[in-house]
Structure 1
Amino acid sequence: MKKRFMALSCFLIFFCGFTVQANTALKYNVNASSSWVPYYIPDSSEEPGILGELVPLLLAKANIAIEKHNFPPKRTNYALDNGLLDFDFVSPSWFPNRELGSLFVQSDPIIAIKENIITLEEKAQDWQNIDQIKAKEIGTVRGYLYHDDAEFTRVDFLSERDLIKALYKNRVDAAICGDLPALYWAKKLNSPITLAAVHTQGHLVMRLRKEHATLLPQINAAIAEFKQNGTTQRIIDKYTKQDVFNQ
């Protein structure tokens, strides 16, 4: 991979009132799976999801050009590791020891995020303790990272939507899913589910390839400004304060 080097004349310190410019647009994937509702909503230009709206605004505020791609799930991590993509959004809580790896740096926290064990109401009592997933078959989303997946048997499905369907078809008794995606799809499919034990909770951050680390100050400044002026919360509310989440 050809590393992108910053021209010395562009290597200006952020607190002096300037921003570092990437000499090419930073490449990112549209989404990590076929859908990650309500964070990404495919084929919806008017309502592309929380990150679908926030990412272009955030990087524009940071004065960084971006280039959107749509790689299949299995190719995303390979593309990041090999420089075909420059950043994505992850939670350190998904990784062993909360470490994103030596190739990356991470931004300040952007959005709080939580994953639960999800199951049907009649089975909820069996999944109130996170240790109950050990050595069990657990529904997961193909391409997603799970810090403890050595402790259970992954049964991969294409999306959170398919996890809900799998519970009702008895293909698995429990799955790991973000709370908002689970509630969204349960409502859409008219298939109630229960949020059982918390699997992980933390924050989404930008996972940025280390050769672009000089851009972090302006990215973090944009994150802080959007938190302070309410931009991030307004976008979250647009997708989470609708009737589909009132359960």
Structure 2
Amino acid sequence: MKKLSAMLMAGAMMMSLAACGSSASSASSEAVSSEAASSEVASSAASSEAASAAELTTVTPGKLTMSTNAAFPPYESTDDNGNFVGIDIDVATAIAEPLGLELQVDDMDFDAALLAAQNGKSDLVMAGVTVTEDRQLVMDFSDSYATGIQSIIVKEDSDVATPDDLADKMIGTQRGTTGYIYCSDDFGDEHVTPYDDGLTAVQALVNGQVDAVVIDNAPAKEFVAANPGLKILDTAYAEEDYAIGVAKGNTAMLDAINGALEELKNDGTLQAIIDKYIKAE
């Protein structure tokens, strides 16, 4: 993008000189000079990016280590061959490439994924992570890259029709997520059962161990599609923005991530990744 801007600047300078009525020889000479200046600007920009990447200190040299909980499709999961796939995986890969780094994914429980980034055991955490006041006390966060909706899954014959109906029910959530936090705050810990991942929570709903599951809408759709007899309520429980977490004070990493995200947004790559996994209704 910076190279393109430099080329456009050079073109604008050439047009301005021509409009001033310079001789062909003069215009040609100045155009060559302008092209040289353009090349120098582009080279300087590339050098600046390379220097910025070189300043990054990562957990493992040459790698960008991402902690996650790969049980949250379509953001992160494993395919039939055991490969990590999903929105967060593709976005992290797109961030790593211009930095000259190879993405390394470390799969663990959600709480552990957050702690890994907090303690510098990973370079960043991506797992459909929502920015909250409590998390901001112990981590720094990037600009938002996706919007999530907390939805409610129930059995098709359930008498739960709105979030208010959860007041006297047992709710399943994924441990450490905002779904767990929201439900505990709204209905009390005694009405919330946390599970290690969303799939286990949904299985508890199928088995009648809980009355509902609160989880992000995108994985909720996949879980409902895979489990006949379940449905998602029309009324959303909450809406939130997802961001990338890094260790507190790691400004070099945070700046690199935000710079990459801006480029991915501007050139359409970020939206293309989201559209690849989440189809328009």
Distance 1:135 1:207 in 2: 34
Q: For residues 46-98 of structure 1, what are the alpha-carbon distances to aligned partners after superposition, in whole Å with 9 as ceiling and x for unaligned?
A: 67111122211123235556543223445334433433233213112xx3xx4
Deviation at 1:216, TM superposition (A): 2.4
Question: What residue is the counterpart of 1:229 in the other structure?
Answer: 267
Aligned-partner Cα distance in 1 for 2:269–2:97: 13
**Which letter maps to 2:198?**
E
Do the aligned residues in 2 keep the contact of 1:62 with 1:221 (CA within 8 Å)?
no
Deviations 1:123-171 (A, max 9, x none): 26x341x344346421111343433324333212343233333323221
Residue 120 (structure 1) aligned to one of 138, 150, 155: 155
Aligned twin of 2:170: 137
1:104 is aligned to: 139
Q: SS state of the match for residue 85, structure 1?
A: coil
* Amino acid corresponding to residue 237 of structure 1 in structure 2: D
Would you say 1:91 and 2:125 are equivalent positions?
no
- Determine helix, strand or coil for the equivalent of 1:36: coil
Residue identity (%) = 22
Cα separation, 2, equivalents of 1:57 and 1:172: 39
Contact 1:141-1:156 within 8 A present in 2 as well? yes
Residues 72 and 219 in structure 2, CA contact (< 8 A), matched pair in contact too: yes
Task: Select between 66-75 and 205-214 the one with higher mean Cα deviation.
Answer: 66-75
Is the partner of 1:237 in helix, strand or coil?
helix
Deviation at 1:45, TM superposition (A): 6.0
Unaligned runs of at least 5 residues, structure 1:
1-13
User: Structure 1 residues 103, 63: closer, same or farther in 2, change over 3 A?
Assistant: farther
Length-normalised TM-score, structure 1: 0.75
Which consecutive unaligned segments of at least 5 residues does structure 2 have? 1-44
Does the 8 Å CA contact 1:110/1:223 hold for their aligned counterparts? yes
For the pair shown, the structure with the greater C-alpha radius of gyration is 2
Give the 5 Å matches for 1:1-247. Answer: 17-18=48-49, 19-20=52-53, 21-24=55-58, 25=60, 26-29=64-67, 31-32=68-69, 35-43=71-79, 44=81, 48-63=85-100, 66-89=103-126, 90-92=129-131, 95=132, 98-123=133-158, 126-128=160-162, 130-134=163-167, 136-145=169-178, 146-148=180-182, 149-150=184-185, 151-152=187-188, 153-241=191-279
- Relative contact order: is structure 1 or structure 2 higher (C-alpha 8 Å, sep ≥ 6)? 1
Higher helix share: 2
> Matched residue of 1:198: which SS?
coil
Distance apart, 1:199 and its partner CA: 2.4
Write the letter of the residue equivalent to 1:171: Q
Residue-pair matches, total = 222
Q: Aligned equivalents of 2:76 and 2:209: distance in 1?
A: 26
Amino acid corresponding to residue 125 of structure 2 in structure 1 = D
RMSD: 3.0
Are residues 112 and 162 of structure 1, via their aligned partners in 2, closer, same or farther at CA, if it must alter by over 3 Å?
same
CA distance in 1, matches of 2:98, 2:168: 46
Please give the alpha-carbon distance, in whole angstroms, between the structure 2 residues aligned to 1:225 and 1:104.
Answer: 23
Specify the code of the residue in structure 2 equivalent to 1:116: S
Q: Give the secondary structure class of the aligned counterpart of 2:209.
A: coil
Contact kept in structure 2, 1:100 and 1:207, CA below 8 Å: no
* TM-score (normalizing by structure 2): 0.67
Contact 2:139–2:246 (Cα < 8 Å) also in 1: yes
1:26-48 residue CA offsets vs partner (Å, 9 max, x unmatched):
5321x22x511111122456671
**After the TM superposition, which of the residue ranges 144-153 and 217-226 deviates more from structure 2?**
144-153
Structure 1 position 99, deviation (Å): 4.3
Q: 1:138 to 1:71 in 2, by over 3 A?
A: same
**Cα deviations by residue, 1:151-202 (Å, 9 ceiling, x for unpaired):** 3332123432333333232211111011111111211233441234322212
SS in 2 for 1:218: helix
